[in-house]
Amino acid sequence: MITTKPFSPILEGGLTELVGINEKVDQNDYSGSVGVDVSPGPQPSSGVIRSFAFYATEDGSGAVQDSAGILYVLDADPAVASGDTTLAAAEWPTVIGKVDVAQTEWSLDAGGGVAYINDQPVWYHDLTTLYFVWKQTDATGLNDAAGDDEQLEFNFWYERYS
């Protein structure tokens, strides 16, 4: 007997670094881009990202940051490096979604922090890789002082539809 599932399981993107300990990102600067494979193999798939989690840590002498910012989701790899102040005009049409993260979303202690965003889904068309770029809108930059080893990472949970 052949059976089919009437649903798509929730999948995890995997913990992904947006800003590393040696990357300075000031207010209104971008992180470098990172790509995450969301396809079941060599064929593309479409779907929706349902939930995002952001993680802040500090491995040096600085403080854990509750960074406000925007996570841009793109369908092509932008030519952006950590600390860049703009996305090129040709890169803006590849943005397929964005996730706003406010300082008030964060829960912090001395060891780290987390912000969960569950109300900003991002739909994507048939593709194999999604690209992500963080824009730091907070007045306090990441790794902006001597001894700072701040990291910003994220994870996401998604459904595939094709």
Domain ranges (residues) in the chain: 13-160
pLDDT tens-digit series, residues 122-146 = 999 999 999 999 999 999 999 888 7
The 10s digit of each residue's pLDDT in 91-101 is 999 999 999 99
- Give Cα 104 distance to the centre of its chain: 18
Question: What is the second-level CATH architecture of the domain 13-160?
Answer: Sandwich (2.60)
Structure tokens at 113: 């922090």
State the Cα angle at 96 between 154 and 156, rounded to 5°. Answer: 20
User: Looking up tokens 């922090």, which residue turns up?
Assistant: 113
Which tops the pLDDT comparison, 61 or 51? 51
Residue ranges with strand state E in 102-141 = 106-109, 112-117, 122-127, 129-136
Rounded CA-CA distance 105/157 in Å is 18
